[in-house]
Structure 1
Amino acid sequence: MIQVIQAQNVGLAYLEERFDLRLAENEIFFTEWLDKLPEITVLEKQSLDKVKFHFLRLVKHPPLSEETVKLVVLSPLLSLAGFYDEPFFIRSEQSIEISAEDKGEIVRGRIDVLVIQEQLWLLVIEAKKPSFSLLETIPQALTYMLANPHPEKPVFGLVTNGSHFIFLKLAKENIVKYAMSDEFTLLKRENELYKVLSILKNLSEILS
């Protein structure tokens, strides 16, 4: 009998056991969030300052939904990074199903935002409401990244609850490995959306 598991109920231990997923120990594995990041223009900084202001203003009037996070924070970031333009396409609420070989289990879920190029999965984005911990979101995003129909290609991820952001990378070498960036937050005086956008722009340039 096949057991169906919802992606939001999956943890890292499950992924490591069922899919032989391993955390990359070599920092060279994921340098795309660190090296040769493009500059952010003055106009882009002004736009990001507005995004931060609008989000923090909304936080004062809870509850905030995942849809609000996508509308107020995520959509402007994707637009500024060029992911609404050629050669990229945005898909939302993309259903996935992935099975653990010989385990009699299927994991199902829906990707919040998927950026593709000619059917190649490039960027998986999982957005949660502000009260949600990113530590709980990371396994869900990695599950979706494991469902990439082109496992020979690396795929990137972004998890956010509107105020915090973590980038992910998953790639198959001898085994499937993943790595995480530092966490960026809007709860600092400095607007760390500048760095988030710079990383997104870097991914846009690399992936195009």
Structure 2
Amino acid sequence: MTLTVEASSLSLNDVHRFLKLEKLSNASFVDFLSLEPLSEFEQHDLLKIRNDFDRYLSARKISEGLVKFLTIAPLMRLAGFYDVPIRLTMEDSIAIAVEDEDRRITGRMDILAINSPQSNVAPPFWVVVIETKNSAVEVGEGLPQLLTYAFKSLEQQPSVWGLVTNGLRYQFVYLTHNQQQNYQLMPLLSLNESPDAIELLQVFKAICKLPSFQ
């Protein structure tokens, strides 16, 4: 009998054990991405995103839905994720079967950016998997879910970027599949810190521009 497990109930130890996913030492963005300077227009829009979020955060806890609306959506638009051939999907249901364990892990992704090729022959490439939490939840609590969802992409591609955020803090993760599936945590970024906010948008732009074979 197959046991069905919700991804939201997993701990990091569960993810490591069930998915045979190994954590490597933390890495730097520049190890994998080419970060370009922001234009004045981009910096102006980024400041507006920061101010809008700060205004809501000062008033009350911000829900997951508002985190997506106030920060993720405008950041991804500014970074180019709304352009062809990338397609965004939200709350897609996925199922991950773990062959050497008698269980099936299920869940719903918050946001998935897919590079959809023009040809029907080539499979779609998962650009980035995003898990959002409300502003009162620490980003580390969403890491097991994010890793579980991003793990699914390694069946068809060698690597994928993931992000878990509560709107204020942003934890990027880089997953790869060589001889074994593994992941590396990137530096934690904060939207309310100017250097971090600039790097955050630079990272989004760099991931958006990655060719689908990486």
TM over 0.5: yes
The aligned residue for residue 9 of structure 1 is 9
Give the share of equivalent positions with the same residue, in percent.
Answer: 30
1:142-161 equivalences under 5 Å are: 142-148=147-153, 150-161=155-166
Hey, what's the Cα distance between the residues in 2 that align with 1:201 and 1:29? Answer: 12
Partners of 2:67 and 2:166 within 8 A in 1:
yes
Of the three residues 99, 110, 113, the one matched with 1:112 is 110
Render the CA deviation track for 1:97-149: whole Å, top value 9, x for unaligned. Answer: 11221311111111110000122211101111101111111111000011116
Q: Does 1:22 align with 2:26?
A: no
Hey, what's the Cα distance between the residues in 2 that align with 1:2 and 1:88? Answer: 35
Q: SS where residue 4 of structure 1 aligns?
A: strand
Partners of 2:154 and 2:177 within 8 A in 1:
no
Q: SS where residue 91 of structure 2 aligns?
A: strand
Deviates more, 1:17-26 or 1:103-112: 17-26
Q: TM-score, normalised by structure 2?
A: 0.89
Counterparts in 2 of 1:39 and 1:112: CA distance versus 1, 3 Å? same
Partners of 1:122 and 1:207 within 8 A in 2:
no
Q: CA deviation at 1:2?
A: 1.6
Q: SS where residue 66 of structure 2 aligns?
A: helix
Deviates more, 1:55-64 or 1:17-26: 17-26
Of the three residues 42, 47, 50, the one matched with 1:49 is 47
Q: TM-score, normalised by structure 1?
A: 0.92
Runs of 4+ in 1 over 6 A off after TM superposition: none
Hey, what's the Cα distance between the residues in 2 that align with 1:129 and 1:44? Answer: 26
Partners of 1:89 and 1:116 within 8 A in 2:
yes
Hey, what's the Cα distance between the residues in 2 that align with 1:8 and 1:166? Answer: 17
Hey, what's the Cα distance between the residues in 1 that align with 2:199 and 2:150? Answer: 23
1:25-44 equivalences under 5 Å are: 25=25, 27=27, 31-32=31-32, 35-44=33-42
Counterparts in 2 of 1:191 and 1:54: CA distance versus 1, 3 Å? farther
Render the CA deviation track for 1:3-46: whole Å, top value 9, x for unaligned. Answer: 111111111111211121111238489822xx531111111111
Hey, what's the Cα distance between the residues in 2 that align with 1:143 and 1:162? Answer: 21
**Number of aligned residues:** 205
Q: CA deviation at 1:175?
A: 0.5
Q: SS where residue 187 of structure 2 aligns?
A: coil
The aligned residue for residue 169 of structure 1 is 174
Which amino acid letter does the alignment assign opposite residue 65 of structure 1? S
Hey, what's the Cα distance between the residues in 1 that align with 2:112 and 2:74? Answer: 15
Structure 1: runs of 5 or more not aligned:
none
Structure 2: runs of 5 or more not aligned:
117-123
Deviates more, 1:87-96 or 1:148-157: 148-157
Which amino acid letter does the alignment assign opposite residue 187 of structure 2? D
Of the three residues 84, 96, 99, the one matched with 1:98 is 96
Hey, what's the Cα distance between the residues in 2 that align with 1:79 and 1:187? Answer: 19
Render the CA deviation track for 1:45-88: whole Å, top value 9, x for unaligned. Answer: 11111111111110122232101000010001100110100110
Of the three residues 125, 132, 143, the one matched with 2:137 is 132
Q: SS where residue 210 of structure 2 aligns?
A: helix
Task: State the Cα RMSD in Å.
Answer: 1.9
